[in-house]
Amino acid sequence: MKKIGFIGIGKLGLDCAEVMAENHEVRGYDIYPRASDSVKVCDIDELVNESEWIFIAVPTPHAEGYDGSVPSSHMEPRDFGYDAVIDAINKINVHARESKKVVLISTVLPGTTRREFVPRLARQHQFLYNPYLIAMGSVKWDMVNPEMIMIGTEDGNPNALAGELRELYNTVMQNDPRYEIGTWDECEAIKIFYNTFISAKIGLVNMIQDFSMKIGNIDVDVVTNALARSTMRIMGPKYMTAGMGDAGACHPRDNIALRWLAEEYDIGYDLFATVMHAREMQAKNLAMFLVEQSKQHGMSIVIHGKAYKPEVPYCVGSYSTLIGHYVKQAGHDVRYLDPLADDPAEVITELAEPAVILWAHNRKITYEYTGDQPDTLPYCAIPRNSVIVDPWRKLPAIEGLTVIPYGNTRNS
């Protein structure tokens, strides 16, 4: 049983700390009041001095307007903010009465740890960079079933501390994860380019969806399923279903921040701006389709799902609100149905009149990697004669409703 501390027990840190607490003595410190049944929330002095391992899971936020829930590809590229990490490091320096094993989890751009953090950490402490591949809605499952565990050391060699961290993780993992050991900078890069590969992949399949809508006689799923099965040259089947765009607190903003890095290092091109621009235009195309349906049927537009995915409240980086932005830009109102959304603006709880409804949430597709998942149930009674636009093409024909499988323009 190890003594572990988490600085920053928010959306990521608290669940991870609770997973660790199943086998270890875990403390948590946060600048905001937090509570837990299994993690002892305490002050910074106790956390630092009673913990052998200190995990830092504080935010590395992007500036307002850079999360991807509204258009941003036209805005000036910017780096994330690192004040909270620096504050955590300063606090460890001030409070620690002996050497600590410090592990940074927070997402940062490549090069940041070496430039900003390690020079600030008192030399008596040991340090690893260890970002997590974790998604909201499945934090605890992801924590113990990771695709890989990245451990960054100064020179990229698996030092003794990296070995100890591996042993620590072996006490909580449900799977047998692959370990990737690299320099701090390489692990920063693995984490952030993992995210942008996903964004690019979704951008590509949604591009095929756009073409299927324009050309006709194409079911996007026939195309993407064939590509997904083409494992000789292109990657596996994940993120190969066209639908809503990439979203959430991490992926859009990571691409947005990488634009800054491309400029900073004078790479000569900005693939990330292109990925984000494509994401925005795909959202606009879907918005224009909703507007067209709204005009055709004389019905208002409702988006079923405002949070960036089902089962979570977070509207940060939401593709639904990005689509809503373009609907409003075209002069139409938009309302959202979502019982969990943490942003109440334009959220309704029931529908009195038939509407054009974008079926944004699909639980089965979002969480299929965690095992069999039930379908998303309607968030309220859907009035007869409503038109449902299904960007995932999974809804069956429903009596009394028109269901449009967006991205399938085959006649049969």
Ligand X SMILES: NC(=O)c1ccc[n+]([C@@H]2O[C@H](COP(=O)([O-])OP(=O)(O)OC[C@H]3O[C@@H](n4cnc5c(N)ncnc54)[C@H](O)[C@@H]3O)[C@@H](O)[C@H]2O)c1
What are the residues binding ligand X (CB under 6 A)? 7-13, 30-32, 57-60, 84, 87-88, 105-107, 132, 134-136, 249-250
Query: What is the DSSP secondary-structure string of 195-242?
Result: HHHHHHHHHHHHHHHHHHHHH-S-BHHHHHHHHHT-TTTS--STT-S-
Q: How far is the CB of 194 from ligand X (least distance, A)?
A: 10
Please give the single-letter amino acid code of residue 393. R
The residue number with the shortest CB distance to ligand X is 10
Inter-residue contact 198 to 235 (CB < 8 Å): no
Output phi, psi for 201, to 5 deg.
Answer: -65, -45
**Closer of 107 and 376 to ligand X (Cβ):** 107
**Closer of 134 and 291 to ligand X (Cβ):** 134
Q: How far is the CB of 241 from ligand X (least distance, A)?
A: 21
Q: How far is the CB of 96 from ligand X (least distance, A)?
A: 15
Q: How far is the CB of 14 from ligand X (least distance, A)?
A: 7
Three-state DSSP class for residue 6? strand
Q: How far is the CB of 310 from ligand X (least distance, A)?
A: 15
Three-state DSSP class for residue 154? coil
Output phi, psi for 169, to 5 deg.
Answer: -65, -35
**Closer of 14 and 218 to ligand X (Cβ):** 14
**Closer of 219 and 343 to ligand X (Cβ):** 343
Please give the single-letter amino acid code of residue 46. E
Angle of CA points 255, 11, 77, to nearest 5°: 20
In angstroms, what CA-CA distances link 275 with 56, 203, 324, 368?
30, 6, 20, 25
Q: How far is the CB of 92 from ligand X (least distance, A)?
A: 11
**Closer of 59 and 354 to ligand X (Cβ):** 59
Which residue is associated with the tokens 């149905």? Answer: 337
**Closer of 107 and 206 to ligand X (Cβ):** 107
Q: How far is the CB of 58 from ligand X (least distance, A)?
A: 4
Helices (H), 115-183: 139-144, 160-170
**Closer of 314 and 392 to ligand X (Cβ):** 314
The DSSP bridge partners found for residue 193 are: none
Residues 6+ apart with CB under 8 A from 349: 337, 339, 379, 380
Inter-residue contact 109 to 138 (CB < 8 Å): no
The DSSP bridge partners found for residue 26 are: 4
**Closer of 121 and 351 to ligand X (Cβ):** 121
Q: How far is the CB of 248 from ligand X (least distance, A)?
A: 7
Please measure the distance between the N-terminal and C-terminal CA atoms of the chain and give it in whole angstroms.
61
Q: How far apart are CA 103 and CA 253, in angstroms?
A: 23
**Closer of 32 and 269 to ligand X (Cβ):** 32
**Closer of 30 and 246 to ligand X (Cβ):** 30
Q: How far is the CB of 30 from ligand X (least distance, A)?
A: 5
Residues 6+ apart with CB under 8 A from 314: 11, 136, 248, 249, 307, 308, 342
| Burial of residue 225, with CB atoms counted within 10 A of its CB: 0-12 exposed, 13-18 middle, 19 or more buried | middle
Q: How far is the CB of 253 from ligand X (least distance, A)?
A: 8
Which residue is associated with the tokens 């995210």? Answer: 195
